Structure 1
Amino acid sequence: MDDMRNSNDERKKTFLLMNCLNLNGASKDIINYRISCFKAMENMYCIANLEKSPMRGYFIGSQIEGTALIGSESDEDIMFVNEDITVVCETEKGEVDHLGERLNNIHSTQVKSNTPIGVILESEETPGYVQIIVVDAKTYNPLTEYDTNPLSHLCYTDSKGFLLLSTEKLKTRIGIVTDARYRNGPAMTETSTKEFHSSDLVYGLYTKAWPKSADEWLSRKRRYSWPPMNIVKLVDEGCFLVPTGSFYESETIWRLSFVQIEKEMVWTWSVIQYKCFMLLKLIRRNILQPALPDVISSYQLKTIMFWVSEETDPMFWKTNNIKECITRCLDFLLGYVLKENCPHYFDRTNNLFRGKLDKDSKEELICILSRILQNFWTEVFKIPSLREVSENLQEGEIECFDNVLTATMRHPELLKEIMNLYFSVIISFATSAMKPAFQFLRKNDIDMAIKRHYEYRFLIARLSLTDPEHLKLEQLINRLIDISLGSQLNSKACEAENNIEKVELIEEAETLFKRGSILDTASGKLKLATLYFCQRKYRSALNIINEVSSNEGVFQLNGFEPQNPDISLPYVLRILSEQPNLASTLQDHGALELVFLPTEINSAPDPIKFEINRAVLAENECSLDNPLSWAVFDADFYTLLLKFLILHKQNAYQERNETLSKLRQYVKKSNSFYRRISAMNIVGYCLQLVGEVQWAFDVFLGSLVLLKTHNSATWHLALLVWNVYNSSKL
Structure 2
Amino acid sequence: MFQEHDYRENLSLMLSEVLDDIGVNERMVMRRRRCLMLEETMMNITHKLADTNLTVYYLGSQREGTTTIGLHSDMDILHCIHEYNIIQDWSEWEHGKENYLMIQDENTTPGYCFLQLLRHDIPLPVTVIPNEHYINDRSGRILLKNTLYNGVIQDAVDHGPSNARQGQDGFCDIDTVPAFPCKSWPQSASGWLDRQGIGRWPTLDMRRYAASTRCFVVATGSKVSEYPELEWRISTSLAERCLILNLNITQIRCYVLLKMILKSFLNPQGEINISSFMCKTVLLHCIENTESSIWKENNLFICLTYCLLELHSCVQNDHCSHFIIRENNLMAGQFTAEKKHELSKNISDFLQNDRQMLLRIDIDDLGYRLQVKLNMVPHGAYYYQSSLAIHEFYMYFEYLGTAFSVKGAQKLLLRHLHTKNIRTMKHCIGKLITFNVNGNRLEQAAFKFLAPFLFTTYGSILASSSISENNQVSPQALVWLSAGLNSDISSSRLKLASVFYCTGDMEKAELILRHTEQQYYSYPVFTICRCRDMPPPAVTTEIMRICGEQSEDCIKHITAFCVTFIQKEINCIPHELQYEMFRSTQDYMIHRIRYRDFWMDWAVVDSLPFLYFLQYKIYSHLQRHQDQQQALSKLIRTIVTDKNLGHRETALNILGQCMEQENRPQQALNCYLLSLQLRSRNNVAKFHICKLLSGLLASQ
Does the TM-score normalized on the shorter chain lie above 0.5?
yes
Give deviations 1:216-257, integer Å, cap 9, x for gaps. 212234454422334323334341112125222521112211
1:601 is aligned to 570
Q: 1:252 to 1:317 in 2, by over 3 A?
A: same
Question: Residue 695 of structure 1: CA displacement?
Answer: 4.6
| Gap regions ≥5 residues in structure 2 | 377-384
Which of residues 318, 324, 342 is equivalent to 2:296? 318
Which of residues 186, 206, 216 is equivalent to 1:231? 206
Please state if 1:436 is matched with 2:412. yes
Which of residues 604, 612, 617 is equivalent to 1:645? 617
Percent identity between the two aligned chains: 24
2:39 is aligned to 41
Aligned partner of residue 567 in structure 1, secondary structure = coil
TM-score by length of structure 2 reads 0.85
Give deviations 1:344-372, integer Å, cap 9, x for gaps. 21122233343357776666655554554
Give deviations 1:54-82, integer Å, cap 9, x for gaps. 65433222221222243234322223333
2:528 is aligned to 557
2:540 is aligned to 569
Aligned partner of residue 300 in structure 1, secondary structure = helix
- CA distance in 2 between counterparts of 1:172 and 1:6 reads 55
2:243 is aligned to 265
2:194 is aligned to 219
Q: 1:215 to 1:645 in 2, by over 3 A?
A: closer
- CA distance in 2 between counterparts of 1:82 and 1:172 reads 16
Taking the TM superposition and a 5 Å limit, the aligned residue runs for 1:447-526 are 448-458=420-430, 460=432, 468=441, 471-497=444-470, 506-526=474-494
Q: 1:441 to 1:141 in 2, by over 3 A?
A: closer
The residue type equivalent to 2:422 in the other structure is I
Give deviations 1:520-553, integer Å, cap 9, x for gaps. 1101222222233244443332222122112231
Aligned partner of residue 26 in structure 1, secondary structure = coil
Please state if 1:26 is matched with 2:5. no
Which is further off, 380-389 or 290-299? 290-299
1:345 is aligned to 323
1:203 is aligned to 178
Aligned partner of residue 78 in structure 1, secondary structure = strand
The residue type equivalent to 1:154 in the other structure is H
1:544 is aligned to 512
- CA distance in 1 between counterparts of 2:686 and 2:307 reads 69
The residue type equivalent to 2:515 in the other structure is E
Which is further off, 342-351 or 251-260? 342-351
The residue type equivalent to 2:13 in the other structure is F
- CA distance in 1 between counterparts of 2:341 and 2:666 reads 81
**Are the equivalent residues in 2 in contact too, given 1:194–1:424 (CA < 8 A)?**
no
Which is further off, 459-468 or 16-25? 459-468
- CA distance in 2 between counterparts of 1:111 and 1:88 reads 9
Q: Give the paired residue count.
A: 677
- CA distance in 2 between counterparts of 1:355 and 1:723 reads 70
- CA distance in 2 between counterparts of 1:541 and 1:569 reads 33
Give deviations 1:69-96, integer Å, cap 9, x for gaps. 432343222233333222111xxxxxxx
- CA distance in 1 between counterparts of 2:649 and 2:124 reads 59
The residue type equivalent to 2:188 in the other structure is S
| Gap regions ≥5 residues in structure 1 | 90-101, 397-404
- CA distance in 2 between counterparts of 1:462 and 1:469 reads 13
Q: 1:716 to 1:351 in 2, by over 3 A?
A: closer
Give deviations 1:424-465, integer Å, cap 9, x for gaps. 3322221x122123223445xxxx543232233355568799
- CA distance in 1 between counterparts of 2:200 and 2:23 reads 29
Give deviations 1:255-302, integer Å, cap 9, x for gaps. 211111101110000001101111122222223335997553322221
Question: Residue 620 of structure 1: CA displacement?
Answer: 6.6
Question: Residue 628 of structure 1: CA displacement?
Answer: 3.2
**Are the equivalent residues in 2 in contact too, given 1:557–1:563 (CA < 8 A)?**
no
Please state if 1:296 is matched with 2:274. yes
The residue type equivalent to 1:87 in the other structure is I
**Are the equivalent residues in 2 in contact too, given 1:533–1:646 (CA < 8 A)?**
yes
Which is further off, 690-699 or 532-541? 690-699
Which is further off, 465-474 or 634-643? 465-474
The residue type equivalent to 1:88 in the other structure is I
1:134 is aligned to 117
1:78 is aligned to 77
1:402 is aligned to none
2:381 is aligned to none
**Are the equivalent residues in 1 in contact too, given 2:532–2:646 (CA < 8 A)?**
no
Question: Residue 304 of structure 1: CA displacement?
Answer: 1.9
- CA distance in 2 between counterparts of 1:139 and 1:60 reads 36
Give deviations 1:26-68, integer Å, cap 9, x for gaps. 2223322332333333334435655475654332222212222
The residue type equivalent to 1:438 in the other structure is L
Which is further off, 689-698 or 78-87? 689-698
2:404 is aligned to 427
2:140 is aligned to 161
Q: 1:638 to 1:30 in 2, by over 3 A?
A: same
- CA distance in 2 between counterparts of 1:616 and 1:438 reads 22
Question: Residue 477 of structure 1: CA displacement?
Answer: 0.7
Aligned partner of residue 21 in structure 1, secondary structure = helix
Which of residues 612, 618, 621 is equivalent to 2:581? 612
Which of residues 234, 254, 278 is equivalent to 2:232? 254
Question: Residue 511 of structure 1: CA displacement?
Answer: 2.3
Question: Residue 394 of structure 1: CA displacement?
Answer: 5.8
1:591 is aligned to 560
Q: 1:606 to 1:340 in 2, by over 3 A?
A: closer
- CA distance in 1 between counterparts of 2:495 and 2:685 reads 25
- CA distance in 2 between counterparts of 1:245 and 1:175 reads 24
Q: 1:721 to 1:384 in 2, by over 3 A?
A: closer
Question: Residue 698 of structure 1: CA displacement?
Answer: 5.8
1:332 is aligned to 310
Q: 1:392 to 1:133 in 2, by over 3 A?
A: same
**Are the equivalent residues in 2 in contact too, given 1:677–1:707 (CA < 8 A)?**
yes
Taking the TM superposition and a 5 Å limit, the aligned residue runs for 1:59-74 are 59-74=58-73
The residue type equivalent to 2:610 in the other structure is Y
Aligned partner of residue 581 in structure 1, secondary structure = helix
Taking the TM superposition and a 5 Å limit, the aligned residue runs for 1:179-190 are 187-190=162-165
Q: 1:301 to 1:605 in 2, by over 3 A?
A: same
**Are the equivalent residues in 2 in contact too, given 1:208–1:237 (CA < 8 A)?**
no
- CA distance in 2 between counterparts of 1:493 and 1:685 reads 27
Q: 1:18 to 1:727 in 2, by over 3 A?
A: same
- CA distance in 1 between counterparts of 2:142 and 2:645 reads 49
Q: 1:654 to 1:618 in 2, by over 3 A?
A: farther
**Are the equivalent residues in 2 in contact too, given 1:75–1:198 (CA < 8 A)?**
yes
The residue type equivalent to 2:281 in the other structure is T
Q: 1:314 to 1:624 in 2, by over 3 A?
A: closer
Provide the alpha-carbon RMSD of the alignment: 3.7
2:379 is aligned to none
Question: Residue 639 of structure 1: CA displacement?
Answer: 0.8
Please state if 1:308 is matched with 2:286. yes
Aligned partner of residue 167 in structure 1, secondary structure = coil
Q: 1:367 to 1:608 in 2, by over 3 A?
A: closer
- CA distance in 2 between counterparts of 1:8 and 1:311 reads 25
Question: Residue 640 of structure 1: CA displacement?
Answer: 0.4
- CA distance in 2 between counterparts of 1:263 and 1:555 reads 33
Which is further off, 357-366 or 239-248? 357-366
Question: Residue 171 of structure 1: CA displacement?
Answer: 3.1
The residue type equivalent to 1:38 in the other structure is L
